[in-house]
Every structure is written in C-alpha cells, then in structure tokens.
Amino acid sequence: MYDFAYHKPSTVADAVKLLADPDAKAVSGGHTLIPALKHRLNKPSALVDLSGIAEMKGIRRAGNAIVIGALTRHVEVADSAEVKAAIPALAYLAGHIGDVQVRNRGTIGGSVANNDPAADYPAAVLGLGATVHTSKRKIAADEFFLGMFTTALEQDEILTAVEFPIPEKAGYAKMKNPASRYVMAGVFVSKGPMGVRVAVNGAGPCVFRQAEMEKALAANWSADAVAGIRQSAEGLNSDIHGSAEYRAHLVTVMAKRAVAAAG
C-alpha cells in the first residue's frame, strides 16, 4: 500500500473534522478498504479509524426498533439475543456474511456506507425500511442507497447507527457467487410497520425494491404469491459467473425462499 496518515479519533465530532480532507477515508472493519489499499487501488491521504468511537458501538432496543451502532461487528449482530428475538432474519443475515474472519472484523456501518451491490446488509436496511443515523441527520433507507458504491452520505458525514423497525415477519435468502461468496442474488422480505417490502441485492448495480412482488405479498403472504413473478433482466449485472437472465431468475427463486424462511 501507499503511505498515508493515520488518525484514531475518539468522538464523532473529531472524526468529522478529520474527514473534511476530501482525500481522507474513514475505516471501520477495513474488510473492503484494506484489500484495496494492499492492491494499491486506493491512495487516501489519511485513514480515519473509527474504531475508537464509543458512541458508535452497541445494540439496543428503542421502543419498536432495534438500533445497531455503526461499529457493531457482524458476529455481534448474529449472536445478539436482542436481535435474534426481535428480527431473527437480521441475525441470520449477519451470521451468513462472508466467513468467520470477515464476521469478526466487518461492521454494519462499513457495509452499509460502502453499499457494495453484492453486500448483504443493504438488503436488510432497505428490506426492513430502516433509518440510517448519521453525524448530521437521519436518512430513510429509500433515500439512502443511490447507486453502485454510492449513498446519500456526504464526504464529512459519518454513518453512526442503523435503526431497524421490528417487523411481524422477515426472511432472507441468497445465492452466493461461487468464487467470492458475495451475493449473486439475494432477497430480503418483510411485513410490518413499514408495510410489505422486498429488497433485492447482488443482482443489480445497487440494492432495489421489487414492487410487483411487494404488491403480490401484500395481497397474499406466501411463497406461491411470488413464484410466478419474473424479474426483468434489464439493467442487472452480468459477469463470468452468471448472466443478467440467470440473476433475474434467481431473484424469483430467492424471493420464494425468503418468504418461506419468514414463515
């Protein structure tokens, strides 16, 4: 990797100041950024290590929602009694991200802020209609994910927590890319205070909602309701592991499985 300055602030306010430098990068678990640095694909002037900020840690229940601090590692979400009781599908998703090493380092904030189209968490954020808390404001999931690796976050804005409304039912199913084990096509479904939501990750350049499936499930919450709905392949990802048509097909299969998992 190239040389960079290293900062480890202990408050959100200090971190925000350091990120005023447009060439500085925030890092939490580092599972995306560090490999990129090692490959010399990224040349930040400074790394702002968020891991020392206590106020961004922890899982708590707040009324009819679960609030997860941005620095919470995947393994902590997967193992959390609070999350397992309130949103088991979210604990399941966290427990199936990457591998043990990834789950022990990677954080929810890093995953959501990075918005990798093949990451798991964005499906849960959008699929549950969560609210993203930042150092400046609160952003609804529907306004947060803007495109491939692009979110509503500004340069000096830090994602501090994600607030998940507790659904009646939720489920997640994914097909993994055979090589990377990232998501090739995944579907997160939920029914609850935010209505019926179906979020698709992996298949397209950015996580998106499947309106036709939402409508069908609102009328009839069953795997059969989505079995006949075909996702259009237009605009979906295509690579050496699978065509857009294959991914479109998988969206229907994973939607069925997600609904079945939700019960």
> Which residues of this chain interact with other proteins, rule CB under 8 A?
1, 39-40, 175, 178-180, 182, 239-243, 246, 249-250, 253
The two tokens of residue 24 are 């500085």
Q: In angstroms, give the least distance from the CB of 89 to other proteins.
A: 20
Sign of the C-alpha dihedral, residues 184, 95, 172, 122?
Answer: negative
Q: Which is nearer to other proteins, 155 or 232 (CB)?
A: 232
CA distance 148 to 210: 17
Q: Which is nearer to other proteins, 103 or 191 (CB)?
A: 103
Q: 3-state class of 170 per DSSP?
A: strand
CA distance 247 to 238: 8
Q: Which is nearer to other proteins, 1 or 102 (CB)?
A: 1
Q: In angstroms, give the least distance from the CB of 195 to other proteins.
A: 27
DSSP string for 183-232: EEEEEEEEEETTEEEEEEESSSSS-EE-HHHHHHHHH--SHHHHHTPPPP
Q: In angstroms, give the least distance from the CB of 199 to other proteins.
A: 19
Q: 3-state class of 174 per DSSP?
A: strand
Q: Which is nearer to other proteins, 37 or 68 (CB)?
A: 37
Q: In angstroms, give the least distance from the CB of 241 to other proteins.
A: 6
CB contact set of 155 (below 8 Å; sequence gap of 6+): 19, 20, 22
Q: In angstroms, give the least distance from the CB of 231 to other proteins.
A: 14
Q: Which is nearer to other proteins, 209 or 241 (CB)?
A: 241
CA distance 86 to 32: 29
